[in-house]
Structure 1
Amino acid sequence: MIKTRLKNNGLLLALAVVLLLVSCDKKRVFDEYREIDGSWHKKQKIVFSFEQQDTVSKYNMFVNIRNNNDYPFNNLFLIISMLQPDGVTKVDTLEYLMAHPDGSLMGDGFSDVKESKLWYKEKAKFPKPGKYVVSIEQAVRETGKVAGMEQLPGISEIGFRIENTK
């Protein structure tokens, strides 16, 4: 009976900790990840879709990258497309620094896996209410080569996050 009570108390404590951690992220509006199978093919689009009804407030948007020591470059080029509810697509080509001058990976994490929270849009408004679709693809090229990397190693997950600015 005491073991059962202790086990139940442990479960309640674990549940309380999880709820506390989830509820602390008050800025989060949207936050999802897609797993990559060890390397990111140049034609593989990572797609996120979400509903947005608020066209007045401003939001910050981020691309989250989880990579490991197999990532061979100090930067990352991404092509990010946002399809709006009215059929208009906005496309950005962005470059992000991923490693320090000594070659060590930037980002948060204690192991060889690092997570980088990369700015996509700052203080942006959504022009129309409805469904938005964000597509992300890698556009990394080796120095002196025109063709892109067929397979980009070292990327394990891609995430997309929207936060309130308040």
Structure 2
Amino acid sequence: MGLKNKILLLFVAVTLFSCDQKRVFDDYQSVGKSWHKDSIVSFDLPQLDPKKTYNLYVNVRDNDDYPFNNLFLIVSLEQPNKQVKVDTLEYQMTNPDGTLLGDGFTDIKENKLFYKDKVSFTQKGLYKVHIKHALRQTGKIEGVTSLNGISDVGFRIESTE
């Protein structure tokens, strides 16, 4: 391996490591080959420094079986005092030509979807996050029962410092 290649490899390794230094929590749960509308993905969050702020993300792994352009999620942040903050979120999942957005070299793409920024966790105790999909087809009242093409759902917390 030439000096140029070694320098490039070192640069890539340092870049990848430094990009993830802000990670505080990053976990995934499998939903199988399709995500059922009644399936709620939940995460118990670690104890976080109440003096710091954090950016929150929902992570989704999808593949070419995903049949829609967008994704609707209901994300609930349950605080230790049992108060729950609920958000309904919409994310674009494909380019205009129908190809999947996200990172990945195979047909599986990983999407880091922004949820909230500069959040403080000031209460003592366990915080929980609950995520479910809320996708509906145009003109139909009933939600999509099984959402094909989604294999894993995750939650990520990054330090803002």
TM-score between the two structures when normalised by the length of structure 2: 0.87
Structure 1 residue matching 2:137: 3-state secondary structure: coil
The letter of the residue matching 1:68 is: N
Residue by residue over 1:129-163, the C-alpha shift from the partner in whole angstroms, topping out at 9 and shown as x without a partner, is: 22111000000000111110000000011110000
1:101 aligns with 2:68: no
Q: Does 1:125 align with 2:120?
A: yes
Residue in structure 2 matching 1:72, options 62, 67, 76 = 67
The CA RMSD over aligned residues, in Å, is 1.6
Q: List structure 1 runs of 4+ shifted beyond 3 angstroms.
A: 20-24
CA contact (8 A) 1:47 1:136 kept: yes
The answer to whether the 8 A contact 2:25-2:46 is kept is no
Aligned twin of 2:22: 27
Is the CA contact (8 Å cut-off) linking 2:60 and 2:152 kept in structure 1?
A: yes
In 1: Cα distance, 2:24 partner to 2:15 partner: 15
Report the CA distance shift for 1:80/1:65 in structure 2 as closer, same or farther (over 3 A): same
Is 2:55 the counterpart of 1:44?
Answer: no
**Higher Cα radius of gyration:** 1
Write out per-residue CA displacement over residues 98-122 of structure 1, whole angstroms, 9 at most, x where no aligned residue. Answer: 0011111000011111000000111
Shift in Å, 1:68: 0.1
User: Could you report, residue by residue, the CA deviation over 1:23-81 in whole angstroms, capped at 9, with x for unpaired residues?
Assistant: 65321111100011100000000010023242221100000000000000000000001
Corresponding residue number in structure 1 for 2:105: 110
**Matched residue count:** 147
Report what 1:90 is aligned to. Answer: 85
Counterpart AA for 1:148: G
Is 1:134 the counterpart of 2:114? The answer is no
Aligned: 1:57 with 2:52: yes
Identical counterparts, % of pairs = 53
CA distance in 1, matches of 2:160, 2:47: 15
Separation (CA, whole Å) in 1 of partners of 2:48 and 2:158: 14
SS in 2 for 1:120: strand
Distance in 1 (CA, whole Å) between partners of 2:105 and 2:25 is 25
Cα contact 1:51–1:130 (8 A) shared by 2: no
